A and B are shown apart, each in its own frame.
Chain A
Amino acid sequence: MESFMKLFMQLMGGMGNTLWLFAVTLVFSLPLGLLLALGRMSKNRILSGIIRIYNLIIRGTPLMLQLIVVYIAPFNIVGFTWDRMTAAIVAFILNYAAYFSEIFRSGIESIPRGQYEAAKVLGLSKWVTNKSIILPQVVKRILPPMSSEFMTLVKDTALASTLSIVEMFTVAQNNAMRNFDLTPLYIAGIFYFAFNAIVEQLFHLAERKLDYYR
C-alpha cells in the first residue's frame, strides 16, 4: 500500500508537466489558430496559400517528428539551444494552432452570408458584426469538434517524453518497465481518462449554456 501511494504521488508529480503543457498550449494556440483561420480565408491568395501549406505540413507529419525538429533545428541553423520544455511547448502550439485554425474556419464559413448582409444593411460596423453577431454563433457550432481536439491534446502531451520531459506517461512507463508491472500504466490510463472526463463535462456544460437558441 505504501509503495502504491508512492507510485501515485510520482504520477501526480508527472501530472504537473502534463497540465502545464495542456494549459500553455491552449492559451497560445487558440488565438494563433484564429489568426491562421482568418489568414486562410483572406482574399490575399499568397497569405492564404502559405497558411494552407503550413497547415498541410503540420497536419501531414507526426507531432513526434515536429517536437524533435523544433528542439534541434534552431541549433543546426543558428547554433541556438533551448530548454526542452520550451521547445515542446512551442511545437505543441505550432501543431495545435493548425488544427484549431481548420475548426475555426469551418465554423466561420458555416455562418450564412445573410447574417453578414443583415448586419451590414443595419449599419453595424465590421467589428460589432464579428464580435456580436458572428463569433457567438461560431462558438456554438465549433464546440463539438473543439471538445474532441482538447481531449486529443490531453493524450498528446504524452509525446513530450520524446524530448525526455518527465510528464505523467513517462513516469508510468519507466515504473512499469523497471518492475515489469502494468499497474502504473493502468493508473496513468485512469488519470488521462479522468482528465478527459472533466474536459468533456465542461464542454457539455458550455453546450447546454448555448442551447437557448438554434
Chain B
Amino acid sequence: MNTMLEVNGLYKNFKELEVLRGVSLKIDEGEVVAVIGPSGSGKTTLLRCVTQLERATRGSIKICGEVLCEDSPDGSVYVDKQKRHELLLKMGLVFQSFNLFPHYNVLKNIIKAPMDVQGKSRQEAEEIARRLLEKMNLADKEGAYPYQLSGGQQQRVSIARAMALSPALLLFDEPTSALDPELTGEVLKVIRGLADEGMTMMVVTHEMAFAREVADRVIFMDDGVIVADDRPEAIFSGSGNERIEAFLSRF
C-alpha cells in the first residue's frame, strides 16, 4: 500500500500563537480520512500546510513518498521551488468558499490549470473537463459563469477543477460549511462517489453523518493536536475520551 501523505511532528506558529503543536498522521492510497474537531483546533491549518499555503514551523511532510519539508532544529527545511511545484500538483484542494474564478465560465475554470500548468492542448483539457462535469452532474453548465450557479453547483465545479489536474490526493476544507442544508447533500454525494472510485481523500468536515458513513478513518483534532485517529465506529460509539464526547454531544 502506498502512503500518499505522511506528516510528522508538524508545528505551525502564527507569531506567538501555536496553531499546530506536533501533528503526525499517515494516509494510504485509497483511504478516505475525515478530520473533525472544534473551530480553531488547527484542522484547516493542517490542510494549508500540506498544500503549501502555509509554511510549517517545525516537522516534516512527505507527499507520495517524496519529501516536501524535513524537520531541523532551525525549523522545517523545504525542498527547492521546482520540487515544491511538482508536489503541489499531486494534490487538489477544495475550499470552503469555492474560490472559483468569477470572470471565467465553468469550462474555462476547469481547463485553465491543465492547459497552463500541465501544457495540455485545449482539446485534451476540454475532454477531461467535460468528463468531470458529467460526473458532477453539471454537463449542461459548462458555459455558465459562477454567479449563475447555486452554491452546491459552484462547489461541484471547484471539485472538478481540482480533479482536472488528476491529483493523487484530494483535500477538502469544510466543503459544505458555506452551503444551505439542502445543497449540502449534492456535494457530499459527489464526494462519496469519488470515495467509491478509490480516490484518496482527506476531508475536514462538520458533517458527522458523512464522516461516519464515508470515512475509513476519523481524526479528531483539538487545540493543535490529534486527540484520536481511529475507525469511525470507534470514534462515534463513545470513545471514552471526554473531549471527543463533549464535542460530539453538540451534534
Cα separation A75 to B182 with both chains bound (whole Å)? 73
User: Closest CB of chain B to A137's CB: distance in Å?
Assistant: 6
- The answer to whether B85 and A123 have CB atoms under 8 Å apart is yes
Known: A121-B51, A123-B89, A213-B147. A140 touches B103 (CB 8 A): yes
B151 within 8 A of partner (CB): no
Known: A122-B117, A123-B165. A213 touches B99 (CB 8 A): no
Chain A contact-residue range equals 20 to 34
- The answer to whether B116 and A121 have CB atoms under 8 Å apart is no
Cα separation A123 to B116 with both chains bound (whole Å)? 9
Q: Who on chain A is nearest to B117 by CB? A: A123
User: Closest CB of chain B to A209's CB: distance in Å?
Assistant: 12
Cα separation A213 to B117 with both chains bound (whole Å)? 25
Cα separation A124 to B115 with both chains bound (whole Å)? 10
A86 within 8 A of partner (CB): no
- The answer to whether B102 and A123 have CB atoms under 8 Å apart is no
Q: Which of A121, A133, A136, A137 contacts B53 (CB 8 A)?
A: A121
With a cutoff of 8 Å between Cβ atoms, the chain B residues found around residue A117 in the complex are 53, 95, 99
User: Closest CB of chain B to A130's CB: distance in Å?
Assistant: 13
User: Closest CB of chain A to B78's CB: distance in Å?
Assistant: 15
With a cutoff of 8 Å between Cβ atoms, the chain A residues found around residue B52 in the complex are 120-121
Contact with A along B32-61 (1 / 0, CB 8 A): 000000000000000000011100000000
With a cutoff of 8 Å between Cβ atoms, the chain B residues found around residue A137 in the complex are 102-103
- The answer to whether B102 and A214 have CB atoms under 8 Å apart is yes
Cα separation A117 to B94 with both chains bound (whole Å)? 11
A79 within 8 A of partner (CB): no
Contact with A along B99-127 (1 / 0, CB 8 A): 11111000000001100110000000000
A115-B99, A122-B161 given; 17 more Cβ-contact pairs under 8 Å? A114-B99, A115-B101, A117-B95, A118-B158, A120-B88, A121-B91, A122-B113, A123-B88, A123-B113, A123-B165, A124-B113, A124-B116, A124-B117, A133-B101, A136-B103, A137-B102, A213-B102
Residue ranges of A at the interface with B (Cβ–Cβ < 8 Å): 112, 114-115, 117-124, 128, 132-133, 136-137, 140, 212-214
